[in-house]
Amino acid sequence: MRGPTHMQTVEFARIPPAPSVRQGRRRLPWLLGGLLALLLLGGALYAVAPLRHPLPTPTVELTLPASMTIPGTAPRLPWPRSGQAMISVDGLGTLGTFGGSKPLPIASVTKVMTAYVILAEHPLAAGEQGPELTVSAAHAAAYPAEKARGESLVEVRAGEVITERQALQAIMLPSANNMARILAAWDSGSVAAFVAKMNATADQLGMSGTHYTDPSGLDPDTVSTARDQVILASKAMALPAFAEIVKQKQATLPVAGTVKNYNELVGRNGVVGIKTGSTDEAGGCLVFAAVVNVGGRKLTIIGAVLGQPGASTPVQLDRVFAVTRSLLRSAVAALAVHTLIEAGEQVATVRGPLGTGTTINAAKKIEVVGWRGLRVRLDARIPAVPSRVAAGAEHGQLTVYAGGGKPVGTALRIGTGMELPSTWERIRHHR
């Protein structure tokens, strides 16, 4: 008989079933989607990168030069055949010169400096007579000998009382040598001390070709140049009392009575002064000023003509008057109003970021008074231009300087508007 049977249990390891084809297909889109997301994220980071950097600041490039000349040929003036001459327009500069710069005797033109120094030391308001001078016995006693030498004089008497203005009228109209010496001694105590003041003043004014030896100009060693006398005349005419005196045709003095101005051009063709001079050594000399109207603006022409020949004072002065009249006519004809900048004319180019840009233009035309060939200076003041600016916006100023005269100018305006580049333009530009 068999015994009980014992049964053994055998355990088998569980092997998972292999994935089906259907399950693999479900996972593939997830993998592809993740990869695409990574690619898109990288592309987005690449595209956004340029947006993190600031845009470059717009730059401005001027299209006008720093200076220019009024178009056309410079005027040719009818200069004398001999001597020396210069024509200047106050505030604009020198219109022309002739005869070099050698110092020449200037005769009674010297009295312009005498009057200038007196007025610097003893200023007079317009119309004011000023302090009184008393003619000394010595100065009165010298009169007969001075007259015998043929000097230009006014009669004086010992004890005569004369005002500063009257004394200046005596030296500037009938060109009284004796009154020039009287004024010098009154101011400085002696003629020599006054002459030292004259030379010091000439140095201060930059009159490098000038040397004074007396206050009247009778001494031929008193010398100057046309250029220096134009410098002095311009300064002297800025003094109201001086300008009042030299434009007078006559004046009345206490002893001498009515005296006349030797400058026969005064009161004609705008001439308002200044001083004649004539000696054998100097010839005919004249420093003059004339006021003319050009385009509604008053201009002062100042000139000097030295060394005009002639056998006598009347001939010498006739010669210098004729030369001056001709020069003045030509100078006035040369002056005109010129349009230098047209309204809307481009002054600068603006280059903005990523190819943007615009222009800066003159808001109105700029006109200057001057002559053809005159050099003028241009000064454009343009602030930094933003990347976004509206068309027609005012932006800056253009100023034109003709010589040392009053500047003229205009506002500047933006041409077409300028906008910031779009996001797409920034991205595309980066690529």
| pLDDT (tens digit per residue) in 271-286 | 999 999 999 999 999 9
204 lies in a domain? yes
Quote the radius of gyration of the chain (alpha carbons, Å).
44
Where among 308, 324, 353 does a domain terminate?
Answer: 308
In the predicted model, what is the mean pLDDT of residues 136-156?
Answer: 96
Check whether residue 183 and residue 292 sit in a common domain.
Answer: yes
Our count of domains for the chain comes to 2
Q: What is the pLDDT of residues 13-64, one digit of tens each?
A: 454 555 554 554 556 565 566 556 555 555 544 445 555 567 778 899 999 9
> In this structure, are 142 and 285 located in the same domain?
yes
Q: Are residues 98 and 199 in the same domain?
A: yes
Whether residue 300 sits in one domain with residue 346: no
Give the β-pairing of 375-381 and 93-98: unpaired
Angle ∠(268,273,277) on CA atoms, nearest 5: 110
Same domain, 347 and 389: yes
According to the model, what pLDDT value does residue 427 have?
57
Does residue 355 sit in the same domain as residue 260? no
Q: Which domain holds residue 412?
A: 59-70+339-430
Note whether residue 45 is domain-resident.
Answer: no
Q: Which of 185, 208, 209 is nearest to 197 (CA)?
A: 185
Q: Give the model's pLDDT for residue 13.
A: 45
Same domain (yes/no): 252, 303? yes
Question: Is the pLDDT score of 102 beyond 60?
Answer: yes
Average pLDDT over residues 375-399: 93
Region 101-114: mean pLDDT is 98
Give the per-residue pLDDT at 354. Answer: 74
Looking at residues 144-170, what average pLDDT do you find? 97
Give the chain's end-to-end CA distance (angstroms, integer).
Answer: 98
What percent of the chain stands above pLDDT 70?
85
User: In the predicted model, what is the mean pLDDT of residues 326-330?
Assistant: 97
Phi, psi of 381, deg, nearest 5: -105, 105
- Of the listed ranges 175-189, 201-215, 325-339, 407-421, the one predicted with least confidence: 407-421
Instruction: List the structure tokens of 415.
Output: 């041409």
Share of the chain above pLDDT 90, in %: 78
Considering the domain boundaries, does residue 322 fall inside one?
A: no
Q: Is residue 251 part of a domain?
A: yes
217 and 286 both lie in a single domain: yes
Taking residues 109-117, report their average pLDDT: 98
Residue 361 has pLDDT above 60, yes or no: yes
420: confidence class by pLDDT, cuts 50, 70, 90: confident
Structure-token match 């101005």, residue found: 261
Q: What is the CATH number of the domain that holds 171?
A: 3.40.710.10
Both tokens of 149, joined, read 């030498």
CA distance 102 to 292: 30
* Average confidence score pLDDT of the chain: 89
Mean pLDDT of 154-175: 98
Whether 413 and 361 have beta carbons less than 8 Å apart is answered as yes
CATH number at 370 reads: 2.60.410
Residue 279 lies in a domain: yes
Please tell me the distance from the alpha carbon of residue 245 to that of residue 289, in angstroms, as a whole number.
13
Q: How many helices (H) and strands (E) does the chain have?
A: 10, 20
b/e for 221-232, b at 16 or more Cβ within 10 A? ebbbbbbbbbbb
Greater confidence, 139 or 354? 139
Contact criterion met (CB below 8 Å) for 358 and 417: yes
Check whether residue 91 and residue 64 sit in a common domain: no
| Same domain (yes/no): 291, 367 | no
In a domain, 318, yes or no: no
Dihedrals phi, psi of 370, to nearest 5 degrees: 175, -155
pLDDT band at 424 (very low <50, low <70, confident <90, very high): low
Asked if residue 152 belongs to a domain, the reply is: yes
Mean pLDDT of 128-145: 96
DSSP type of residue 228: H
* Pair 125, 188 in one domain: yes
pLDDT of 7: 40
Residue 29: partners with Cβ closer than 8 Å, 6 or more residues away: none
Cβ neighbours of residue 401 closer than 8 Å, sequence gap 6 or more: 376, 377, 378, 379, 407
| pLDDT tens digits, one per residue of 287-325 | 999 999 998 889 999 999 999 999 999 999 999 999 999
For β-strands 271-279 and 84-89, DSSP reports them as unpaired
Last residue of a domain, one of 264, 290, 308: 308
Rounded distance between C-alpha atoms, residue 95 and residue 85, angstroms: 11
Confidence class for position 406, pLDDT limits 50, 70, 90: confident
Q: For 194-235, how does the pLDDT look when each residue is reduced to its tens digit (9 = 90+)?
A: 999 999 999 999 999 999 999 999 999 999 999 999 999 999
What does the alpha-carbon distance between residue 359 and residue 379 come to, in Å, rounded to a whole number?
A: 17
Check pLDDT > 90 for residue 4. Answer: no
- Domain annotation covers residue 203: yes
Query: What CA–CA distance (Å, rounded) separates 368 from 390?
Result: 31
Q: Could you give the CA distance from residue 182 to residue 140 in angstroms, rounded to a whole number?
A: 10
Last residue of a domain, one of 308, 329, 363: 308
If asked whether residues 134 and 226 sit together in one domain, one would say yes
